[in-house]
Amino acid sequence: MAPTADPFARLFIGLWPDEATRGALHACARRWTWPPRAVPVARERLHLTLHFLGAVPRERVASLADGLDVAFDPFVLTLEQAEVWRGGIAVLQGVGVPPALQALHARLRRALDALQQPSARERLLAHVTLARHARGAQPPARFETIEWQVDGYALIESERRPPASYRVLQTYPRD
Question: Range of 149's domain?
Answer: 8-172
Residue 3 belongs to some domain of the structure? no
pLDDT bracket for residue 3 (50, 70, 90): very low
Cα 14 to Cα 162: distance, rounded to the nearest angstrom: 22
| Residue spans of alpha helices (H) in 38-160 | 61-67, 99-114
Using CA atoms, how far residue 74 sits from 8, 26, 42, 118, 151, in Å, is: 31, 23, 26, 25, 5
pLDDT in tens, 16-29: 999 999 999 999 99
* CATH (domain of 67): 3.90.1140.10
**26-30, 57-61, 102-106, 120-124: range with lowest mean pLDDT:** 120-124
Residue 1 belongs to some domain of the structure? no
pTM of the model: 0.91
Q: Into how many domains does the chain fold? A: 1
